[in-house]
Amino acid sequence: MKVQKLGHFVDGREVHLFTMENKNGVKASFTDLGGVWLSLLFPNRSGKELDLLLSVENWEDIMENPGHMGEVVGRNSNRIAGGKFSLNNKPYQLFLNDAQYSNCHSGPDYYGRRLFTVKDEGDNTLTLSLFSKDMDQGFPGDLDFSVRYTLTDDNEVKIRYKGLSNKDTVMNFTNHAYFNLMGHDFGSLSEHEIRLHADSYTPSDSHLIPTGEIRNVEGTVFDFRTEKAMLDQKRLKEDLKEVGGYDHNFCIRDYDGTLRCAAEVFCKKSGIAMEVKTDCPGIQFYTGNFMSAEGLGKGGCDYGKHSGFCLETQFYPDAVNNPNFPSPIVKAGVVYKSETVYRFFRRLI
CATH number of 2-346: 2.70.98.10
Can you tell me the distance from the alpha carbon of 63 to that of 168, in angstroms, rounded to the nearest whole number? 30
How far apart, in whole angstroms, are the C-alpha atoms of residue 211 and residue 130? 33
pTM of the model: 0.97
C-alpha pair distances (Å), 129 with each of 15, 121, 122:
14, 12, 15
pLDDT at position 236 is 78
Q: Read off the pLDDT of residues 227-245 as tens digits, 9 standing for 90 and up.
A: 999 998 778 777 788 888 9
Catalytic residue status for 68: no
Q: Which pLDDT does position 243 carry in this prediction?
A: 85
Give the model's pLDDT for residue 127: 98
DSSP state of 141: S
Residue-wise pLDDT for 38-90, tens only, equals 999 999 999 999 999 999 999 999 999 989 999 999 999 999 999 999 999 99
Which residues lie below 8 Å from residue 241, measured CB to CB, with a gap of 6+? Answer: none
Annotated binding site for beta-D-galactose: 78-79, 176-178, 247
* pLDDT score at 240: 87
**Cβ-based neighbours of 89, under 8 Å, separated by 6 or more:** none
Q: Which of 176, 184, 197, 248 is catalytic?
A: 176
Helices and strands (H, E) in the chain, number of each type: 1, 27
Residue 176 among the catalytic residues: yes
How does DSSP classify residue 162? E
Split the chain (349 residues) into runs of 10 and give each run's mean pLDDT.
Answer: 97 98 98 98 97 96 94 98 98 95 96 97 96 98 98 98 98 98 97 98 94 96 96 80 92 98 98 98 96 89 95 98 98 98 94
At 42 the pLDDT is 98
- Report, in angstroms and rounded to the nearest whole number, the Rg of the chain calculated over CA atoms: 19
Q: Are the C-beta atoms of residues 226 and 195 closer than 8 Å to each other?
A: yes
